[in-house]
Every structure is written in C-alpha cells, then in structure tokens.
Amino acid sequence: MPDTPRDAYRDTLTHVDEHGDVRMVDVSEKDVTQRVALAEGSILMHPETQAMVLEDRAKKGDVLACARVAGIMACKRTSELIPMCHPLNITKSKVQIEAIPANGAGARPDGRVGFHVLVTTGVTGKTGIEMEALTGASVACLTIYDMCKAVDRGMEIVDVRLLRKEGGRSGVWVRGGAASEEASAPAPASDAGSPSVAGPAPAIAFIGYQNAGKTTLVEKVIAELTARGHRVGSIKHHGHKGFDIDQTGKDSWRHAQAGSRHVGLVSPTGYAEYASTETELPLNCMLDRFTDVDVVVVEGYKSAGLPNVVVARSGVDRLRNQSSLDLVGDATVALACNDALAARANLSVPTVDINDAAAVADVVEGWLKRRVQ
C-alpha cells in the first residue's frame, strides 16, 4: 500500500503517552492566542412537536430559552464532562436556535422539521475551544429533547459537528461546504464604513516585482485598516516551492503581527494548512475560505486580474530589469510610489505616497465603498 501524506499536526495522538496511557496534554509551552470555534447540531421531530415549541405550548415551559441557557452552561462546564479537556476561562459562548422549515430556505432535502442549533465559543488561551462548542450544541439539542419527550420520543439528534475553528498553531480550519448562519450571514459593517460581506470577502492585490516594497507596505496597510475597525485577512503568494508559516520574521508572521486575523499562504506545492498538492492551489479556492473578514489584502498574484495597487519603490526589478510601472492596467486602483517616480510616471491612475500607509488605506477604503454604490 503506498504511503499517504500525513498531517504534521496529527502525526501522534497527543492524549496518549508513549506507554499507551491516556493523559491531559501539557499546554504550558503553547502560545496564548485568540481561539474561536463554531459547532452545530440539529434535532428532528414531528411537525406537531415543532408547532408546540414555536407556539410556547410545552408543559415544561419555554423550550428554546431553556435550551439556549443549557448550551451556554454546557460550554462552561465541558472540562467536567470530557476527561482530558482543560478548564478554560471562556470569553464567548453564544447559542442560536432556529426552526427548520418543511420547505423553502433552510429546509432539509428530506423535508423533516425540527430545530437547528449553532454554538459559537471563544477564549484567549493556550488550547482550543472546539469541545466546548460541540458540547454546547449537543446539550442544547438534548435539552430540547428533554422538554418535548413526553409528546415525541421519536425525536432524533443529528449532524452534531464542528464547522470552523480559529487560532493556535494550525490556524483556521473550515468544514468543506459547511453552511451556517454565522459562517454565511453578512457581517456587520464596521464603524469605519466598510460594506457588509456575504460569502467570500472582496479582495484587492498589492502587486510589484521583487524588492518593490510590497511586504512593508502591506504590513502597514493591514495595521492601519485594523486600527480603523476593519476585519482584515491577507494572502501571501510564494512563487517558489516551499515556505514556512508563522515563523518569526517571515512575511506571513508579519501579516499576523500587523493585525491580519486570517492569513493564507500559497506555494506551487502546498498552502497554509500544509495539505500536500500536486499542483498549485488556485487563488479563488483560497479566497473562498475568507468569509470572516471585510477585505482580503492579497500580496502578489500579478496575473490574477484582481483590483490592485501597483507598488513601485524604485520602479525597476533588479533581477528581471523590468519596470513595476508596466503592471499598471485596467484593474489598477492606484500606484504607490515615491514622489520622484510619480513625477515621471505620467499614468492615468492616481498615485499615492508609498511611505504613507494611511493614504494607501484611504485608497482601499475608497475602493471598498465604490464597490457597493
């Protein structure tokens, strides 16, 4: 049998020691990061049972209110139920419950009705919070069952699963094809006036040849947009084989330090989650993952045709002897360069000082606002 690629983060079962004994994992050396998890579950029932709940006719009281509270309590007490879970100082626990209709938007293919539970948990700590989200979803569904079992013992709890996790060394994980209210609903506009996002966020590229100053400018623009209240994601493109992610001083690390909450890294043979690929991951596949931000700042991808800011520090790529000015085209929003280069550029696109991150951020904000007008 041929060897199959292995995930570097799952080569060993961390809850089992070298003797095969279970243990609580030592997380003392892990970094403290912001961690978020999103889990769901559904409980299916007879239509009359659903109607009873929606009309508040259950003898035990308000079924959905009780289930929401139960889900929150379960998130907070997960370590008392799952033996190897660490006690966590949870910073967020949100339980949403929606009716599953027989037809129309949100309906199941089999037409069965009931309630869909969505749980979001958050913590700033050294270990993840997925189990808390899953436990909350499970207990919320079980509470609905308990409140309604007198009239419908045939109810079924199904599809309890993790939809998304953020934070820690492994970064962002999203279940393929998962659809949920929080994952797909439009994000609220920030106070800075960025548009709401439904599905993948809008993306603008910063392009230029090597040594044009892209990374330095992107780093500053991420920090500026983040300071203005925007949720910023970023993608770094490596034109060469291989890369290191989250290594101190590397570009992806610099993006995260500047405030990017969702960093993607792509090379011809892999992408940020370290999944082996035979061919380079298409940019649109990467962008499809960025549903949790207001704008994606893409570094590189000159040929992708994205709206772009051309970055030119000296104008000429020392390795290729090509001018970054040649990259200005119909998709260019602005040229970021120094005063001397701007004076001789004689181009139809606006120019902005490459050293003025606030001015470049203004360009990005203006582009965002024009998209929704």
302 in any annotated domain: yes
Task: Identify the pLDDT of residue 100.
Answer: 93
pLDDT at 144: 97
Residue 1 lies inside a defined structural domain of this protein: no
Q: Which of 155, 184, 213 is the last residue of a domain?
A: 184
128 and 243, same domain (yes or no): no
Q: Are 109 and 146 in contact (CB under 8 A)?
A: no
146 in catalytic set: yes
Q: Given this model, what pLDDT does residue 220 score? A: 92
Please check whether residue 203 is in contact with residue 309, taking contact to mean a CB–CB distance below 8 angstroms: no
pLDDT: which is higher, 15 or 255: 255
The answer to whether the CB of 129 falls within 8 A of the CB of 90 is: yes
Question: 367 is written with which tokens?
Answer: 């582009």
Provide the 8-state DSSP code for 16.
B
- pLDDT tens column, 176-185: 644 343 443 3
Burial grade of 236 (CB within 10 A; 0-12, 13-18, 19 or more): buried
The C-alpha atoms of residue 258 and residue 262 are separated, in whole angstroms, by: 11
Residues 96-120, mean pLDDT to the nearest whole number: 90
* Domain with 48 in it: 33-184
Q: Is residue 321 part of a domain?
A: yes
Give the three-class secondary structure for 176. Answer: coil
Predicted confidence (pLDDT) at residue 137 exceeds the cutoff of 80: yes
Question: What CATH number corresponds to the domain at position 212?
Answer: 3.40.50.300
Q: Is residue 23 situated within a structural domain?
A: no
* φ, ψ dihedrals at 358, nearest 5°: -65, -40
Same domain (yes/no): 83, 124: yes
Instruction: Choose the catalytic residue: 62, 146, 251, 339.
Output: 146
Mean pLDDT of 216-235: 88
β-bridge mates for residue 44, sequence order: 114, 156
User: Do 165 and 215 fall within a single domain?
Assistant: no
The helix (H) or strand (E) run that includes residue 349 is none
Return the axis-axis angle of helices 214-227 and 251-258, rounded to nearest 10°.
20
Assign 199 a pLDDT band (cuts: 50, 70, 90).
low
pLDDT tens digits, one per residue of 338-370 = 888 887 767 788 999 999 999 999 999 999 988
Q: How many domains does the chain have?
A: 2
Q: Pairing relation of β-strands 203-207 and 308-312? A: parallel
Per-residue pLDDT at 303 exceeds 80: yes
- Asked if the structure places residue 4 within a domain, the reply is no
Structure confidence at residue 160 as a pLDDT band (50, 70, 90): very high
Q: Is residue 191 part of a domain?
A: no
Q: What is the DSSP string of 144-155?
A: HHHHHTTT-TT-
Query: By the 8 A CB rule, do 250 and 244 touch?
Result: yes
Domain check: are 276 and 359 in the same one?
Answer: yes
Rg (CA), the chain: 24
Most confident of 100-109, 140-149, 225-234, 313-322: 140-149
- Residue where one domain finishes, among candidates 128, 150, 184: 184
> Is the residue at 6 inside a domain?
no
Average pLDDT for 281-298: 84
Positive or negative torsion for Cα 244, 293, 259, 210 = positive
Give 327's DSSP letter.
G
Last residue of a domain, one of 184, 214, 242: 184
Q: Are residues 77 and 180 in the same domain?
A: yes
CATH number at residue 50: 3.30.70.640
Pull the structure tokens for residue 137.
Answer: 């979803």
CA atoms within a 13 Å half-sphere pointing along the CA-CB vector of 243:
25
Residue 292 lies inside a defined structural domain of this protein: yes
180, 218: one domain: no
pTM score, whole prediction: 0.46
Tokens of 228: 């203005």
- Which among 173, 68, 152, 61 has a CA at the least distance from the CA of 116? 68
The string of DSSP codes covering 230-290 is --EEEEEE-SSS---SS-TTSHHHHHHHHT-SEEEEEETTEETT--B-SSPPPHHHHHTT-
Q: What is the pLDDT of residues 51-84, one digit of tens each?
A: 999 999 998 899 999 999 999 999 999 989 988 8
User: Do 177 and 217 belong to one domain?
Assistant: no
Strands 113-125 and 33-45: antiparallel
Residues 172 and 45 in one domain: yes
Q: State residue 180's pLDDT score.
A: 40
- 8 A C-beta contact, residue 202 and residue 298: no
Residue 337 CA to residue 319 CA, distance in Å, equals 19
Q: What letter represents residue 271's amino acid? A: Y
